[in-house]
Structure 1
């Protein structure tokens, strides 16, 4: 038999003892722009069983160790026995994935024939909630399900390998026969996020949401020079290390998925359109008396009679009447062109999973009142990221740059959408918003000049607008040579304080000051003005 049937017998023996075993590969690291680890894979053990081996050792089911195994699995003994009997012809079933170190040691001590441990990996996020919405998370099989983990899953995953091994009766490896396919390690991904700035932004946003008993909040910071996202945080957040506690309403990245009417933060773009068309200059006076004016069958109103205002003061005082008159003096195409060029109505091209494109669809034969309300941010919807990108375009002197979640030394692309002269004029106008007499003194910084705009809008409900508010502040700093553009959005603040200058602006001030210092940006505010800023901010809480 051994002589004449050797080839057949060897084949039979090999088929039961020689196996192809997978070689695990390491999922790539995710690091921030300063090489700080944000996500890594750590080794863990998972427990599996060979039901055929267990059934052939029937006495196992009556041992005390089998009862202990059931307790580790959080299963009733009867249910565990039923599972094994149901799968009795199988050679592999998972019992529990990604065990804790203590559980691994315990299972090793039990030494139950037919129960084995297999080396796997689990994703670990050192910063937990702080970067949760940017990073996302992976599933039990280390496949990216949300965020950067999903967007760059292919690069991060690598390619598992295969090796030929000889196993014994209990499927234990007793000999290696060589590698069939080499394993390829996943690529490391370096994000544009600065963990230091991210931590400050997260802390300040969370404190504001709690202080004002708000429903939610978001904050985004963009590098004006490159289009890189330096920080993106949301509230409420979640711990990506705790899959058992994840809830869908916490895991979505509101900064790229949620849309809102931008309110008065859209007014600078109306002013851009008017200046580009040459119908006004910064000092041109517009009559807003008596604080309202009729458009068709509707009224556009200011919060009070502001009287005659220059175009600069229209932004400083946030006059709805003033910007409406500017919009109505423009041809439709000229007015809308600026909004289209800034990217409203389309996503930012960031590649982030689930990103919303906002809403900017103007119906044919739209009314003059719709045009007037659009000039101060009603009738359109944007995401915090879209608004931050638009303000970054202002800060860059009218050059629109693509957004990047990855670290880059230069912009991915550039497009001039309006003149540098107009951008500088509007930035100078927006500086008055955070100075004495403006609507956002609490957004002023001690060491840097700021250009910004507040926004407060009622939330749309069926049939009109309700009593809930959204508040936001969009700003650029330093105003003399912009480096960052930042948007802070607070959803449904409770209590008496619900204006953007009271709720969102302080978050901007606290984060922007620290961010600019961390980026090593030279202060551009004269020393004699610093004491005045400190005094004004104290007076405004």
Structure 2
């Protein structure tokens, strides 16, 4: 039966359904072939571009800002790694990151912000791919935010500038903004050198953000340069401490101290008060940011008298041992009066500086030509910048090219009026005097090229003036408080009334400028105290003690040999060294 049944089955024509299925499969295959040919041959660029847009990325190599150090390598400005908190609004919204209000409230609390404001920042533009929530957060904050695990919220590594010495060096170093660009001081002046260039690399990433292929370097990273200052941080700290103490004690408006190496013109210290903390500038006032040593000008008063004395010696009208008749202690010039505190009579050139005689120095100034007097002031750098190359430096106020000068103006110029200088300019002038007339530009960066020194006055005349200035700090002089135990000091006090509209007011600028050791000067120090209050406002009372402390400490730190050891000091030294039984 089965055999007969099989025999009754006859082969037939293929069913139309099979034909349809075969045709459909062929059509699909043909379409795929055509599509592949279209993609590979006719239009590959557009699709390749779309794929690259989804996978190709350019990554940057973070380059930290260069170091700033003092002359001994102590770090004054460093960059530390920190994190920034950012959001990808598109990812946050697509993954429902705004649903969990508790996490956003926790995020807002740690950032010191408002949760609603943070969420509005995300939802305001759903297509944005990047927005900062907070920059330069602490590691603890970064770790907390990471643990919140909010979709679309991430951390981006960046660097933050830190200043270990704080307010001590604030006016020299300056600071950077949140994007690490210099805004003040060395940070601003040498921003290009300190910044460098980050490296850039082209990579391909997968859907999870992982690098799957490196496609080459687009820009080679350029390392920033480190900058070494001429500042000696030990002397800088000493100068700032003594200056701040004096400004507070005399309730002064401000003050500056500049310390210069006589032989090289290198600035070893430049301190100002009041100062500020560059690591926390939330409450800093604009006036606190000024580097007063190079920006603020003042009439130097009697600290300018050695320059006028130098002009007279250079002109050859007097010799170091000559005398000047100051009788009767006053004189009228153009209806105005020039006078001393008392009639000093016939006095030596030493006494003119020792007693700070306006009459004596005025007569010397008027005995030489205007060109000789003004030319000497110009040679010592008044009216021009010091060469220190810092942003904001003032050239002072000195109209040396003015065609007409009255006798009274020339007389007052000799004792420090009719001219305004910066503390840095005055320090350069005294450094030149201490270098026996060899003038150097001031420098604050180690290794930078600068103009060679220039001999501007005769060395013997500079030595003569230095010898005269030694009497200023000796008994009978105006600055006995400037004495430095063990060292000879050559310096001059200055007490100048401050100019106001229509004349001079009741405020003073107290100053002292000098060099030591006088037998072979190593350092020049200028101290300026602006508007000291109370009965003590003379340079010999206010500025001279600061000079003594700073100069004495600096010479000790630099191991400079004393040049004025007295018998009592030798006995004291022996008693200190020899143990007693």
Which of the five TM-score ranges fits, normalised by the shorter chain?
over 0.9
Look up the SS of the partner of 1:144 in the other structure: coil
CA distance in 2, matches of 1:4, 1:488: 83
Aligned 8 A contact 1:226 1:410 in 2 = no
TM alignment of 1:197-216, pairs within 5 A: 197-216=235-254
TM alignment of 1:448-527, pairs within 5 A: 448-527=487-566
Q: Please give the root-mean-square deviation of Cα atoms over the aligned residues, in Å.
A: 1.9
- Out of 191, 200, 217, the residue aligned to residue 153 of structure 1 is 191
Q: Which has the larger radius of gyration?
A: 2
- Out of 305, 323, 328, the residue aligned to residue 290 of structure 1 is 328
Q: Does 1:94 align with 2:128?
A: no
Aligned 8 A contact 1:193 1:231 in 2 = yes
- TM-superposed CA distance for 1:63, in Å, is 2.8
Report Cα offsets for 1:73-122 as digits up to 9, x if no partner: 33322222222222322111111110112211111111111111111011
Aligned 8 A contact 1:227 1:411 in 2 = no
Alignment-derived partner of residue 24 in structure 2: none
TM alignment of 1:117-196, pairs within 5 A: 117-169=155-207, 176-196=214-234
Report the TM-score when normalising by structure 1.
Answer: 0.95
CA distance in 2, matches of 1:176, 1:273: 72
Residue 164 and residue 287 in structure 1: after superposition, are their counterparts in 2 closer, same or farther (change >3 A)? same
TM alignment of 1:415-454, pairs within 5 A: 415-454=454-493
- Out of 273, 279, 287, the residue aligned to residue 249 of structure 1 is 287
TM alignment of 1:334-345, pairs within 5 A: 334-345=372-383
Unaligned runs of 5+ in 2: 1-34, 572-581
Report Cα offsets for 1:465-484 as digits up to 9, x if no partner: 11011100001011011111
- TM-superposed CA distance for 1:62, in Å, is 3.7
Alignment-derived partner of residue 411 in structure 2: 372
Aligned 8 A contact 1:225 1:411 in 2 = no
- TM-superposed CA distance for 1:9, in Å, is 3.8
Greater Cα offset, 179-188 or 444-453: 179-188
Alignment-derived partner of residue 144 in structure 2: 106
- Out of 317, 341, 350, the residue aligned to residue 388 of structure 2 is 350
Alignment-derived partner of residue 307 in structure 1: 345
Alignment-derived partner of residue 22 in structure 2: none
- TM-superposed CA distance for 1:412, in Å, is 4.3
CA distance in 1, matches of 2:542, 2:340: 20
Alignment-derived partner of residue 401 in structure 1: 440
Greater Cα offset, 271-280 or 101-110: 101-110
Alignment-derived partner of residue 537 in structure 1: none
Report Cα offsets for 1:338-366 as digits up to 9, x if no partner: 00111111111211000001010143222
Matched pairs, number: 533
Aligned 8 A contact 2:97 2:150 in 1 = no
Aligned 8 A contact 1:226 1:409 in 2 = no
Aligned 8 A contact 2:97 2:151 in 1 = no
Alignment-derived partner of residue 363 in structure 2: 325
Alignment-derived partner of residue 28 in structure 1: 66
Alignment-derived partner of residue 399 in structure 2: 361
- Out of 193, 197, 221, the residue aligned to residue 259 of structure 2 is 221
Report the TM-score when normalising by structure 2.
Answer: 0.88
CA distance in 2, matches of 1:15, 1:47: 25
CA distance in 1, matches of 2:431, 2:255: 20
Alignment-derived partner of residue 25 in structure 2: none
Greater Cα offset, 47-56 or 396-405: 47-56
Greater Cα offset, 358-367 or 385-394: 358-367
Q: Does 1:233 align with 2:267?
A: no
- TM-superposed CA distance for 1:139, in Å, is 0.9
Residue 246 and residue 168 in structure 1: after superposition, are their counterparts in 2 closer, same or farther (change >3 A)? farther
Look up the SS of the partner of 1:406 in the other structure: coil
Look up the SS of the partner of 2:391 in the other structure: coil
Look up the SS of the partner of 2:313 in the other structure: helix
Report Cα offsets for 1:483-518 as digits up to 9, x if no partner: 111100000111111100111011111111111121
- TM-superposed CA distance for 1:168, in Å, is 4.8
- TM-superposed CA distance for 1:174, in Å, is 6.1
Unaligned runs of 5+ in 1: 533-541
